[in-house]
Amino acid sequence: MHALDWSIVAGLLVVLLVGALRTRKYTRSVSGFLAAERCGGRYLISMANAMAGLGLITLVMWFEMYYENGFTGYWWGAITTEPVQIILALSAWVVYRFRLTRALTLAQFFEMRYSRRFRVFAGLVAYFSGIINFGIFPAVGARFFMAFCGLPQSFTFAGLDVPTFAVLMAGLLSISILFTFLGGHIAVMVTDYLQGIFANVVFAIVIVYLICTLSWDRMAEAMLMAPAGKSLVHPFQIASQPEFNLSYYLISGIIVMYCVLGWQGTQGYYCCAKDAHEAKMAGILNYWRFRVLLLIALVVPIAIRTVMQHPDFAAEAATVQQSIDAIAAGSQEQVTTLQNQLRTPYALAVLLPKGLMGLMCAAMLAAFISTHDTYLHSWGSILIQDVILPFRKRPLSPRQHMWLLRASIFAVAVFIFVFSLLYKPTQFVAMFLAITGAVFVGGAGSAIIGGLYWKRGSTAGAWAAMITGMALALGKTLIEQFDRESLAAATFSSGAIADIERFLRGLALFLKDGLTGQEMTFYAIVYAVGAFILASLLGKRHTHNMDRLLHRGKHAVAGESSTSLRDARTWLQRLGIDREFTGWDRVVAYVSVGWPIAWIIVFVAGTIWYFSRKAQHAELGDEAWLTFWHGFTWFIFAAGVAVTIWFTVGGAKDLVYMFRTLKSRAADPTDDGRVTAEEGDDTPDDARICAENESASKGVCDD
């Protein structure tokens, strides 16, 4: 890193700080701090949420994944997840109905739908699952920057040997805390939007530089060096992939459908839209991030493989390998994990020139901050809103409430700092995130979907699903912290107790190596769904008033519209393009849905063509697949540039609207996440009226 590189990083931080300071005067209420007063527009939400979901740790996860399977992962990911995303986008599955509830957090919805006790329990599970999942984010980020920037392991200060790792984590977290403290979710949205624009532009420049510098021909030669059964270009030759194989992508499609809104790391974006239709449009646009931002995650790992394996880059590969070999972190399992994580930053530091290195460092810093400020805001808010607030009989003042939220956010930062210092990395980032996330979403998905779409879904069912999913996922998470060698070498007592201990050790070894985090997540989901259905059907009969929950009919909120399938008159309305869609909304929906449909047709047709040619003993070779992926890369690149321009302009207009609305709108001190008696009352309307009106007809009350 040269002076020019550091000045680029500093310049980005100044711009973000100015943006965060701009929001401070608008954060006057709890709903402003938590949900930006519900005045977010579709493009602002999509761009900011995409950046929050991108994250440095997400990029590291993708770098690991696509280094292992290259373009083949994109093929199977498109076939298994794109159809699901089309359904979700058109129907606004879960998103639309959740926005109709007007809940500020997911657990507030749980109290409205189930009970206050379940709200607190779900809030606790979400909180602890989330901060454990979040716990490795600072560590992964700090290690990336240390490797990329060439920072020493320690430095001397006041005669003391200070570890760089801890100091860097503290500094990075401090920036994220500052942005969150200044303006709550308003500041988070504004800074994430600015970071999204910057990162997209930088990633486009880096992609062009890597392909032009290394040349596609060299990259193709390196991809062809992959061993048999682990092809990087032939999607039908991934049988030997131990982690990211076909089952991984099939399960991914199920998880995408099941876990909508289940993961609460970005929960502020779930409730900040100006109305339910805008939330639906943001959901339609949101999937563009997976379709165009993934290109950086594909090109960079392939470029690294080229450097490490192509003979023309032997000198660069030797430099990178020397850094990788110097990693020492305990067991061989930990060393291998860190080598997989740090290969990319070490190689990028060798590949990128002055100036571009600073841009890449700034873009990765933006990715780090965008995820951390969003997650700090979400998990800190959940503890206060869903665990502490329900026990208070008297509401807090807005000032007290917001400072309590800030204190909780700071506590989350302290926890993940300590967790990152102590955690032993033993598996791919993707697998750790999958199984720790499943501690909550494994059961929460059933409670969310069942609560929004099934009036028979009961509180008992929600409890059963949450406990089942949590127990299975938590067991896998804890076992991963033990070394295989220590489990295998465990000694036992004698007699029947020894037999039980041996069984438990065998089960632990199976969970550690027999099932990946992705597969364990799938089983947690299956058993949780079964538990929810059985407990709801076998328990006390329960019918919830869905119109009151979703503010429909006589419970509708003035100024907010809502639709349902009961209002549909045409096949387009039944597909989700209802009467709330304007002409431009329809264009956006057609383009957003037409894109994945086109690629699904390409991939399905390619799959059929491959097997037909194979039956004729005329199978396509790797060279043919390379030609396809070459054209695919540049096509996606062009689309990514167009989408970046489109969302940047739309997001700027949404920013103007948000600030104008915040300036003119009066803050509502009662909109703080508390559930009123009417919202939480599960008694059918007629029965409640009879209970309150003694003069009501006895016949009506009996009915």
Q: For the chain, how many residues are written?
A: 703
Nearest to 295 by CA among 207, 211, 374, 371: 207
Mean pLDDT check: name the lowest of 369-373, 606-610, 615-619, 652-656.
615-619
Tens of pLDDT along 432-454?
777 777 778 888 889 999 999 88
Confidence grade of residue 356 (pLDDT, cut at 50, 70, 90) = very high
Considering only residues 243 and 669, tell me which one the structure prediction assigns the higher pLDDT.
Answer: 669
Residue 205 pLDDT level (bands cut at 50, 70, 90): very high
* CA distances in angstroms from 167 to 3, 14, 170, 451, 472, listed in the order given: 21, 21, 5, 45, 36
Note the pTM of the prediction, 2 decimals.
Answer: 0.77
Q: Mean pLDDT across the chain, nearest whole number?
A: 80
Arithmetic mean of pLDDT, 561-569:
56
Contact 560, 101 (CB under 8 A): no
**Mean pLDDT of all residues in 112-132:** 86
What percent of the chain clears pLDDT 90, i.e. is strictly above it? 17
pLDDT, average across residues 342-371: 91
Helix 517-538 to helix 246-258 angle, to the nearest 10 degrees? Answer: 40
Structure tokens, 599: 């690629």
* Range 487-492 average pLDDT: 57
Higher pLDDT, 211 or 74: 211
Would you say residue 12 has pLDDT above 90? yes
Would you state the pLDDT for residue 177? 92
48-62, 117-131, 566-580: range with lowest mean pLDDT: 566-580
- Give the confidence band of 686 by pLDDT, cuts at 50, 70, 90: very low
User: What pLDDT sits at residue 129?
Assistant: 84
- In the predicted structure, residue 682 carries a pLDDT above the cut 60: no
Any idea what DSSP says for residue 157? E
The pLDDT of residue 683 is above 60: no
> Who wins on pLDDT, 555 or 380?
380
- Residue pair 434/517 in contact by the 8 Å Cβ criterion: yes
Alpha carbons 481 and 422: distance in angstroms, whole number: 11
What pLDDT sits at residue 703?
A: 34
**Residue closest to 437 by CA, chosen among 377, 368, 524, 514:** 524
Residue 179 has pLDDT above 80, yes or no: yes
**pLDDT tens figures, 526-538:** 899 999 999 999 8
Contact 199/369 with Cβ under 8 angstroms?
no
pLDDT at 624: 81
Q: Is the pLDDT of residue 246 over 70?
A: no
pLDDT at 238: 64
Residue, of 551 and 143, whose pLDDT is higher: 143
Confidence of residue 291 (pLDDT cuts 50, 70, 90): low
175's tokens? 């920036």
Q: What is the pLDDT of residue 568?
A: 56
pLDDT level of residue 687 (50, 70, 90 thresholds): very low
- Asked if residue 329 has pLDDT above 90, the reply is no
Round to whole Å and give the CA distance between 497 and 505.
12
Distance CA 290, CA 76 (A): 14
Q: Which of 212, 238, 260 is nearest to 91 (CA)?
A: 260
Q: Is 508 helix (H, G, I), strand (E, B) or coil?
A: helix
Q: What is the pLDDT at residue 490?
A: 57
Task: Give the pLDDT score at 700.
Answer: 37
Measured in degrees and rounded to the nearest 5, phi and psi for residue 2 equal -95, 175
273 pairs with which residues across the strands?
40
- Residues linked to residue 157 through DSSP beta bridges, in sequence order: 160
How much is the average pLDDT of 369-374? Answer: 89
The answer, yes or no, to whether residue 505 has pLDDT greater than 90, is: no
Predicted confidence at residue 688, as pLDDT, reads 40
Q: How confident is the model at residue 628 (pLDDT cuts 50, 70, 90)?
A: confident
Amino acid 11: pLDDT: 94
- For residue 294, pLDDT over 60 is answered with yes
> How many Å apart are CA 386 and CA 392, to the nearest integer?
11
Lowest mean pLDDT among 210-219, 460-469, 614-623, 652-661: 614-623
pLDDT at 365 over 80: yes
Q: What is the model's pLDDT at position 696?
A: 38
pLDDT value at 176 more than 80: yes
Confidence grade of residue 7 (pLDDT, cut at 50, 70, 90): very high
Secondary element (H or E) of residue 161: strand 160-163
pLDDT of residue 598: 83
Q: Which residue has the higher pLDDT, 618 or 280?
A: 280
For residue 520, the model assigns a pLDDT of: 78
